[in-house]
Amino acid sequence: MNIIDELSWRGLINQQSDEEGLRKLVDEKDISLYCGMDPTGDSMHIGHLLPFMTLKRFGDAGHHPYIVIGGATGSIGDPSGKKAERPMQTMDQVNHNVEALSNQAKRIFTDFTMVNNYDWTEPIGILDFLRDYGKLFNVNTMLGKEIISSRLEAGISFTEFTYQILQSLDFLTLYRKHNVQLQVGGGDQWGNLTAGLDLIHKAEGQDAKVYALTIPLLLKADGTKFGKTAGGAVWLDAEKTSPYEFYQFWFNQDDKDVINLLKKFTFLNQDEIAALAEKVKTAPEKREAQRTLAEEVTKFVHGEEALKTAEKITEVLFSGEIQALTTDEVAQAFSGVPSEEIPADEINLVDLLIAANVDKSKRQAREDIQNGAIRINGEKLTETTEMIDPKDSFDGKYIVIRRGKKKYFLALIK
């Protein structure tokens, strides 16, 4: 199957500058292509995955993907999708984020070539920039692009106004040095991508075969934006979003969304996804499609061992056998539950429930204990006189408290 047909089936194409031209090009030869990423933070989130997974699909089809880390553009700020100016980062912040994102991307996308646009942008003097590149951009054309026009009422600085020129320079440089012929980006990047095409055609001639392709904004079946949780973004950094939390995010997707997500975020083929779609219809309670989605994406981002840990934590929490977890696994499993610090001394069970903010009064704590509603580290305790020694489990760092069937609390030992 032609890679363009593959992307179309997966719902990964929003706009193309020349569909037939690109289709013919990728049929004729292996091409080089790229997607950029600005270092606005020190970790990617799942919103970054789709463009780069799309590049990987090209790579699996024999093409050559590049990632451009925006050491230069990230210091300026992309106005796309923003209602106001971005806070300017210091160069120390930018460089820290460049290093962190580069290491993260190299770990996940092992077969990509990675470059930093600071390397070719920094040597250009202001006069050379204005004479060699600024002269090729028409201000009226730039004002007509949605990324700029949407900001005119609120105001846009000259700094962010020039972002489009810098991103276009990336495409021109990669075309000249590495024969990169396709830029891939999110749907909000269309104006920046087409500006790059225009620059190449002005600088290199109208016969230059270069193309742009954007990926649609991913929405859930109810029309809301995909990728956010109550706690914020779902990060690819295991310190920000643990592999267990990451796994659970995918496992908890709605039946209405799961097949669409399998198409976009996994490398399963059409037959495999069709089989899972049938299981969603015939046995939705088994959640096989969701489990497969969680397994595939967690393994891709975090690796086989992290997936095994996430699955183990899931199984242990379902069974209630908390003692089967390691100390590190407890930290993953309960990172989002209510937690309180308590002293390392032995403590009465009633006092523990008060100290950990499980119950508001000793009377309620006694009732919960006597009614069998309290489990400490997986063990049901029914005696109000029970004493708990924090040193007895999880390296003396945690006490896991469960009230009822699902409400967990974590006592952090000082």
Out of 188, 198, 237, 351, which one is annotated catalytic? 188
Between the CA atoms of 264, 54, 116 and 144, what dihedral angle is there, to the nearest 10 degrees? -90
Which residue(s) pair with 214 in the sheet? 15, 185
| Residues contacting residue 196 through CB under 8 Å, at least 6 positions apart | 167, 168, 170, 171, 172, 183, 210, 212
- Write down the catalytic residue from 15, 18, 23, 86: 86
Q: Which residues contact 24 (CB under 8 A, 6 or more apart)?
A: none
Please indicate whether residue 82 is annotated as part of the active site.
yes
> What is the Cα–Cα distance from 158 to 126, expressed in whole angstroms?
14
Q: Can 27 be counted among the known catalytic residues?
A: no
Are the C-beta atoms of 143 and 191 separated by less than 8 Å?
no
Encoded amino acid at 101, one letter: L
C-alpha to C-alpha distances, 246 to 11, 30, 304, nearest whole angstrom:
23, 34, 14
Count CB neighbours of 84 within 10 A. 11
290 is in an annotated binding site: no
Which residue among the candidates 229, 326, 327, 370 is catalytic per the annotation? Answer: 229
Q: Which of 45, 202, 279, 397 is catalytic?
A: 45
Which of the following is catalytic: 73, 89, 121, 167? 167
Q: Say if residues 214 and 14 touch (Cβ distance below 8 Å).
A: yes
**Long-range contacts made by residues 16-23, C-beta under 8 angstroms, separation at least 24?**
16/211, 16/212, 16/213, 16/214, 17/193, 17/194, 17/197, 17/211, 17/212, 17/213, 18/211, 21/209, 21/211, 22/182, 22/211, 22/213
15, 18, 23, 40: which is the annotated catalytic residue?
40
Annotated active-site residue 83? The verdict is no
> Is 228 annotated as a binding-site member?
yes
Q: Is 211 annotated as a binding residue?
A: no
The two structure tokens encoding residue 10: 């997966």
Please confirm, yes or no, whether 207 is among the known catalytic residues.
no
**Is 326 annotated as catalytic?**
no
Q: What is the CA radius of gyration of the chain?
A: 26
Residue 362 annotated to the active site: no
- 398 known ligand binder: no
DSSP category for residue 67: E
Specify whether 86 is catalytic.
Answer: yes
Q: Is 159 designated active site? A: no
Annotation says 414 is catalytic: no
Residue 186 CA to residue 159 CA, distance in Å, equals: 22
Catalytic annotation on 282? no
Give binding residues for ATP as ranges: 228
Give binding residues as ranges: 34, 163, 167, 228
Give binding residues for L-tyrosine as ranges: 34, 163, 167
Q: Which active-site residues does the annotation give? A: 40, 45, 48, 82, 86, 167, 188, 225, 228-229
